[in-house]
Structure 1
């Protein structure tokens, strides 16, 4: 989003500014080979399927919000071209979103931002939540949704080790009385899944909860 609004260059070589936005990504593509490759260490991870009751419960407390990611297929150069009818192009499933209306709103935002006398950091702060809802069209295959939490309370923020980085990651957790997941898909390259599946079901049954465990149907060598 910042690239499209011509703001990314203004952020280069600047001091890091903290954000209160936390993101959890999801997709409607449950057993998709491209996502297994990209996000589960080449198919040795797992896919967790959210319980619909859990997702509905998020709307009641108002702390978490679920959004559909929009994939933009328009270059910033096109928006800067004078004398040309401008239109934002999108790619992928828009889930009922009015493309024409959204295009007009983004163009108005582009003009407002680029004609504004406000400090760039102030503009970006105003776009804090919205800017995480757009990605380049090259990622449209992901069909991504994002759970977004704006959390400022230090007691709800934790630092935990991650196998992706030497430095701990910063997290916040979603509180809900509803079971979060109904099913677990194990990746196409998971070994000894007949040992892993019983352990997952045991962990849930010890909390008086049920969950289905399946193996991916994708052939992946």
Structure 2
């Protein structure tokens, strides 16, 4: 007999194609506005954090450098005055000493190790910048399978073609190698895959209407 024709030859012939285009034109503007606002807030927050980091970093580096200079001065005094008694310098003498040897000690400190303060970012902010992909995640397999069945409905014509080809291939296993050649049967059904054919067979092989079609 004449082979069945597909339900449509182009996706644009479907009614939902035009509906999707119209819905996309409306929703895309709203989505673009939300993404733009999120980007603006993120840029502003990043600028605030970087400014605060620079300000606090300068204060931290200054106090840390002064502390290191005093520590190095003490070590140098111990090395130079091993045989001398320790004596306490006045604040004025200490400032004069730092003015005289400050640059040298600062260079030594710069060439040595430097501890960087913790980043000014919270755990919530760090979590917000992480990317997690949920593409392909099936939350409810039962509901997902039910929806897939509703979207992939078998017409009476497709059922008839499936049964005819199933009987045809079952009657010549010596040429095809197997009795249930679902892969070959799917080639006669443009809108159905091999998986669809296997699923349809095992879900309906005991149904009354399937047995009636199989007997014809």
Greater fraction helix = 2
Q: TM-score range by the shorter chain?
A: under 0.3
Structure (1 or 2) with the larger CA radius of gyration: 2
TM-score when scaled to structure 2?
0.22
| More RCO (CA 8 Å, sep 6+) | 1
